[in-house]
Chains A and B, each alone.
Chain A
């Protein structure tokens, strides 16, 4: 870039630009995390007085433990329900998207191909705009304010991209494999689940990562499709409900936010390469 300094030969000399840019990046990206972690272990006065400092004498686990044991808007309890949603949505998404994608990928008929476009149209619809009519639909099928309704909506919202990625992947699997399975007497359903599905591991991993992170972080759907009266909180809706109660008490804000991001960040560090490539592929191809 322009920041490079050039010697007379036109060859770039070592310039301060790269270290400078990386330094800025490090500060800008790391400081919020630093503040989040450090202030989760500090008493209110220390947070207000000197948010950047680490008062080694005053550090305490009390506020974190309070947050974990909090009777109201408990984020850790939210883990359980959110994880349940993630698992259910993942299971149903794979169970529905897999076979559908197989049929679409293996069919040569134009009619089946338009099905793919039909599914893709869904990616163009912004979720926030769709959520109000979804309430109306759920109410008319008797699933308003139910976890089943929320899961049904979440699964439907994951289908377009999942089916698209699966179809793309299945098309790279030679159809001779299917024919061999059929000659051996396997039906279509069995051919898919026993022969093709095990080969789709990379695509399945991508879809699982994409869906799991999406559902874990989702705020609009659980907030609007489950009324506060249901008593069911995901991590995000628990934080939302809690913050309005304790907004000025920073000894509650920081530990709760730390608890909310910890699982995703640990998951991210652990599965970094898969996550980055999965989310990128999902966004670009979807």
Chain B
């Protein structure tokens, strides 16, 4: 403080009520300077992350909206075409059929993963070595690239795959798991569920372990069967987790791409083309980049709607817990 007083400009008169106010002001000045420096350091700590994230994630969203209004082909300069690409979304059979395929995958896949996940979570919820082995067994595809899982299943389900070659021994003709239009979609959903339900099992086991034993005991004393206890007591207790899992599954499945590339390649005759697949493997590959980004923007909107649903559900859950 003394130093500050000494360095006080001589032409500034000391205030009416002496030293006091002066000292306060000087103290304020050093404090302000320290605060400024702290702020600069904080800025330096947040800045790089914000910058990279903005340039690589937020700016591209804006760019996508811009490109979707042009006829850019990826090389030459882009001409503005207004909403043409968006109008095309609804009269392009590729695009509309992909929506159906995606919706079927998302809905059927989620239902099966939740159902299978719950059933196995109830069977595997007790803590034991056997159970953790089976949980890991159900879970392992989750850590493997979907692209590689798809190739593995193609080698099992294909015309020359393990199953058809074995069936041939018994005189059965090849089953078109991947080459029959309806079967191919069923196979795709089957592999998706196979790869994803283990994640749901783990999620539900964690939730089930928080359900107090007193509740299920009370139910069984009241004469409820195992099924009734699970149906009326346990599942309602973990309902919030089931909701979160549902939406996580939906959001994940709407983006399905890798597995489609490797398992069916979108075929036969486009029967398993998902929306993400159409964007990248059809529109983008055929250099209709402007149109591809219009589709991408549309997919983003759908994902955002589903994601807002997650947030809404989670918020409700939080208030439920609080209340």
To the question of whether A and B form a pair in one complex, the answer is yes
- Which residues of A come within 8 Å of B, CB atoms? 1-2, 4, 6, 10-12, 17-18, 21-22, 25-26, 28-30, 32, 35-36, 39, 48-52, 96-97, 99-100, 102-104, 107, 112, 115, 118-119, 121-137, 141, 152-153, 155-157, 159-160, 163, 187-189, 192, 213, 216-220, 224, 235-236, 239-240, 243, 248, 250, 253-254, 257, 260-261, 264-265, 267-268, 272, 275-276, 279-280, 283-284
List the B side residues contacting A192 at CB < 8 Å.
45
Which chain A residue shows the least CB distance to B194? A28
The reply on B84 being an interface residue by CB < 8 A is: no
Inter-chain contact B49/A159, CB cutoff 8 Å: yes
A-B contact count (CB 8 A): 260
Interface members, chain B 43-82 (any A CB < 8 Å): 44-46, 48-50, 52-53, 55-61, 63-64, 67, 74
- In the assembled complex, the Cα of A268 lies from the Cα of B141 at a distance in Å of 10
Instruction: Give which listed residue, B46, B55, B136, B162, contacts A156 with CB less than 8 A.
Output: B55
Instruction: Give which listed residue, B53, B244, B296, contacts A132 with CB less than 8 A.
Output: B296
Inter-chain contact A159/B144, CB cutoff 8 Å: no
The reply on B114 being an interface residue by CB < 8 A is: no
The reply on B227 being an interface residue by CB < 8 A is: yes
Inter-chain contact B145/A236, CB cutoff 8 Å: yes
Interface members, chain B 291-319 (any A CB < 8 Å): 292-293, 296-297, 299-300, 303-304, 307-308
The reply on B94 being an interface residue by CB < 8 A is: no
List the B side residues contacting A21 at CB < 8 Å.
119-120, 123
The reply on B255 being an interface residue by CB < 8 A is: yes
Inter-chain contact B49/A235, CB cutoff 8 Å: no
Inter-chain contact A126/B254, CB cutoff 8 Å: yes
List the A side residues contacting B44 at CB < 8 Å.
189
Inter-chain contact B151/A29, CB cutoff 8 Å: no
List the A side residues contacting B139 at CB < 8 Å.
276
Write the nearest CB–CB distance from B145 to chain A, whole angstroms: 4
Q: Name 12 A/B residue pairs within 8 A (Cβ), A-sorted.
A: A2-B227, A32-B152, A52-B162, A100-B46, A129-B300, A130-B61, A133-B293, A152-B55, A188-B38, A243-B151, A257-B148, A261-B148
- In the assembled complex, the Cα of A67 lies from the Cα of B303 at a distance in Å of 40
Inter-chain contact A1/B119, CB cutoff 8 Å: yes
With A29-B140, A257-B152, A283-B199 already in contact, the answer to whether A136 and B279 are too (CB < 8 A) is no
With A132-B296, A136-B67 already in contact, the answer to whether A103 and B148 are too (CB < 8 A) is no
Write the nearest CB–CB distance from B132 to chain A, whole angstroms: 8
List the A side residues contacting B38 at CB < 8 Å.
188
Which one of B1-9, B16-24, B25-33, B153-161 contacts A? Answer: B153-161
Write the nearest CB–CB distance from A9 to chain B, whole angstroms: 10
Inter-chain contact A265/B144, CB cutoff 8 Å: yes
Inter-chain contact A137/B60, CB cutoff 8 Å: yes
Inter-chain contact A125/B67, CB cutoff 8 Å: no
- In the assembled complex, the Cα of A22 lies from the Cα of B63 at a distance in Å of 50
Given contacts A97-B49, A219-B261, A236-B148, 5 further A-B contacts (CB under 8 A): A1-B122, A124-B308, A126-B276, A243-B151, A280-B202
List the B side residues contacting A163 at CB < 8 Å.
49
The interface residues of chain A, by DSSP majority, are classed as helix
The reply on B258 being an interface residue by CB < 8 A is: yes
With A260-B148, A275-B143, A276-B139 already in contact, the answer to whether A1 and B50 are too (CB < 8 A) is no
- Which residues of B come within 8 Å of A, CB atoms? 38, 41-42, 44-46, 48-50, 52-53, 55-61, 63-64, 67, 74, 119-120, 122-123, 134-148, 151-153, 155-156, 160-162, 165-166, 169, 194, 198-199, 202-203, 206, 220, 223-227, 230, 244, 248, 254-255, 257-258, 261-262, 276, 279-280, 284, 289, 292-293, 296-297, 299-300, 303-304, 307-308
Inter-chain contact B255/A127, CB cutoff 8 Å: yes
Inter-chain contact A49/B165, CB cutoff 8 Å: yes
Inter-chain contact A4/B226, CB cutoff 8 Å: yes
Inter-chain contact B56/A134, CB cutoff 8 Å: yes
Which chain A residue shows the least CB distance to B223? A10
- In the assembled complex, the Cα of A104 lies from the Cα of B147 at a distance in Å of 37
Inter-chain contact B151/A126, CB cutoff 8 Å: no
Instruction: Give which listed residue, A29, A254, A267, contacts B155 with CB less than 8 A.
Output: A254
With A128-B279, A159-B52, A275-B143 already in contact, the answer to whether A239 and B123 are too (CB < 8 A) is no
Which chain A residue shows the least CB distance to B254? A126
List the B side residues contacting A219 at CB < 8 Å.
145-147, 258, 261
Write the nearest CB–CB distance from B223 to chain A, whole angstroms: 6
List the A side residues contacting B223 at CB < 8 Å.
10
With A25-B137, A128-B280, A284-B203 already in contact, the answer to whether A279 and B52 are too (CB < 8 A) is no
Inter-chain contact A264/B61, CB cutoff 8 Å: no
List the A side residues contacting B123 at CB < 8 Å.
1, 17-18, 21-22
Inter-chain contact A132/B194, CB cutoff 8 Å: no
- In the assembled complex, the Cα of A252 lies from the Cα of B41 at a distance in Å of 55
Instruction: Give which listed residue, B45, B141, B145, B289, contacts A103 with CB less than 8 A.
Output: B45
List the A side residues contacting B148 at CB < 8 Å.
236, 239, 257, 260-261
